[in-house]
Chain A
Amino acid sequence: MAHTEVDKRDSVKARRKRPFIIEFYSSDVGKKWAMALSGILLLGYLVAHLLGNLKVFLGPENVDLYAEALRDLGGELVPRQSILWLMRIGLLLAYSIHVHAALSLWWRNRKARGSVGYQTRTTYLAATYASRFMAYTGITVFLFILFHLSDLTWGPANPDFVYGDVYANIVATFERVPVAILYIVAILALGAHVRHGAWSLFQSIGINNAKFNKWRNKLAYGLTAFIVLGNISIPLAVQFGILKL
């Protein structure tokens, strides 16, 4: 028994050497916490981004001024675009943590089934399509973000791109039918991802209370409906000629 006690003491020492946050993140439960907390940030971003985007319905000047206001956050107090870049770095950091935790948990879970998996098709009773396809909807959203940035932020995927001319860029890109379809499909994948994530995060961070529990699912559905309908309305409005130059 003596050697096991020494082993135990060694492992406690090794554990203490690492900072608390690394120690916590190295566990699967910790990674789920990280995914939930970064998920909350990303959900907040999705809502804020959509609220800003919906300004296209208020006319070209309105949305162009909104984009300019984002670049000019902080006014004369700080260098131009600095606050915007801070927010972008924060977003990128949250997204990186979310993706890293997701990939390592996905890998862990794949290994956990063992070398011989079930030979019979599993009957799912509680798992939803949204929960089972989180990895795939997540990858879809990642690829979509790459396209979305090169379409409306950097410009190469949009032949009529003019820097700062937000309204014209949106109309130009959504007038192309394949692009409008691509956006709608990607937003539906994002919706499925949000539907499970916005509910699941409460479990991961242990917010579970009989009085509050019935609202967790309703909140997830509400957020999903807002994000999906809001985002889809823009390509549809361009396609149906409601938004035009």
Chain B
Amino acid sequence: MDVILSVWRQVGPDAEGEFVRYEANDIPDHASFLEMLDIVNENLNTNNEEPIAFDHDCREGICGMCGMMINGQAHGPQLGTATCQLHMRKFKDGDTIRIEPWRAEGFPVVRDLTVDRSAFDRIIEAGGYITVSTGSAPDANLIPVPKLAAEAAMDAAACIGCGACVAACPNSAAQLFTSAKVSHLNLLPQGQAERFSRVADMVDEMEKWFGACSNHGECETACPKSISIDFIALMNRDYIRSKFQQGRLAGQR
């Protein structure tokens, strides 16, 4: 199949970017979207042109590296998958496809379709962990975890941190990412000790980089793991509880 690409090219973080038109011809329709870009890049290399820079790693939908706006949709038209799992059969022969990087203040463009997502790392550093003494592995099932808690925590833990929620949000808010990471630990018994400091610190860090939630629900639809905005409600509840909790504990610090 033949498609026409309109790709955002930007040589560096501070450079002006623009759309450049490429013709991608003879693309097999079982190629993934990233493989299609590989073919385009091969041709660019052959012609001594600079290939299109884009992030990718596992190409099986579990690492969260890839991601781009395809025709105004994060990860393209197929719901519940990352860009690497989107195949060219989802497009028609002769389609024009516009490709843009994620756009957010917290995700500055590095080059072409590559953005710097270290803001997510800052949020994880603020509280996306549990403090345990390391050493030999503890006995399995030493801490009983209720089935429902395990299920809900797993749903939250499915987040691969790709940033599609921020990219799709009209407010560039990272509430879905942060709430998934908060809930993943706050729902489990192992996360209880730092439950309230975690939510307070992670929300505070998130607000340094990203916008606020307006409950549009776009993030949930764009998420390659279909993580529910129910977790945002959970985070909002824990956040106000953290403020009361902190007050009660203040004298003991």
Is B61 in the interface zone, CB < 8 Å from A?
no
Q: Is A116 touching B17 in the complex (CB atoms < 8 A)? A: yes
Residues in B whose Cβ lies below 8 Å from that of A109:
170-173, 211-212, 214
Residues in A whose Cβ lies below 8 Å from that of B203:
27, 29
A112→B165 CA distance, assembly (Å): 13
What's the dominant secondary structure at chain A's contact region?
helix
Is B41 in the interface zone, CB < 8 Å from A?
no
Interface size on B, residues (CB 8 A): 52
Residues in A whose Cβ lies below 8 Å from that of B79:
125
A205→B239 CA distance, assembly (Å): 10
Q: Is B247 touching A113 in the complex (CB atoms < 8 A)? A: no
Residues in B whose Cβ lies below 8 Å from that of A33:
236, 240
Decide yes or no: A29 and B236 within 8 Å by CB, A23-B243, A109-B173, A111-B105 being known contacts. Answer: yes
Residues in B whose Cβ lies below 8 Å from that of A123:
71-73
* Contact among B216, B221, B230, B240 for A24, CB-based, below 8 A: B240
Which residue of chain A has the shortest Cβ distance to B233 in the bound complex?
A208
Chain B residues 118-171 with CB under 8 Å of chain A are 168, 170-171
Q: Is B216 touching A120 in the complex (CB atoms < 8 A)? A: no
Number of residue pairs spanning A and B whose beta carbons lie under 8 angstroms apart: 144
Q: Is A112 touching B106 in the complex (CB atoms < 8 A)? A: yes
> In the complex, what's the smallest C-beta–C-beta distance from A30 to chain B, in angstroms?
8
* Contact among A118, A119, A208 for B230, CB-based, below 8 A: A208
Is A4 in the interface zone, CB < 8 Å from B?
no
Which residue of chain B has the shortest Cβ distance to A27 in the bound complex?
B207
> In the complex, what's the smallest C-beta–C-beta distance from B146 to chain A, in angstroms?
16
A29→B179 CA distance, assembly (Å): 12
Residues in A whose Cβ lies below 8 Å from that of B109:
116
Decide yes or no: A206 and B98 within 8 Å by CB, A20-B247, A126-B221, A132-B216 being known contacts. Answer: no
A178→B171 CA distance, assembly (Å): 36
Residues in B whose Cβ lies below 8 Å from that of A207:
233
Residues in A whose Cβ lies below 8 Å from that of B240:
24, 29-30, 33, 205-206
> In the complex, what's the smallest C-beta–C-beta distance from A18 to chain B, in angstroms?
11
A119→B69 CA distance, assembly (Å): 10
Decide yes or no: A119 and B218 within 8 Å by CB, A132-B170, A205-B237, A206-B234 being known contacts. Answer: no
A132→B100 CA distance, assembly (Å): 22
CB pairs A–B below 8 angstroms (17 shown)? A28-B212, A29-B213, A31-B212, A32-B212, A33-B240, A109-B173, A109-B214, A112-B104, A112-B212, A122-B72, A125-B73, A126-B216, A126-B221, A127-B170, A203-B232, A206-B238, A208-B237
Residue ranges of A at the interface with B (Cβ–Cβ < 8 Å): 16, 20, 23-24, 27-33, 105, 108-109, 111-114, 116-128, 131-132, 134, 196, 199-200, 202-208, 213
11 more A-B contacts (CB under 8 A) besides A20-B247, A123-B71, A206-B235? A27-B207, A105-B214, A108-B211, A112-B104, A112-B173, A114-B104, A120-B69, A120-B71, A121-B72, A126-B217, A134-B214
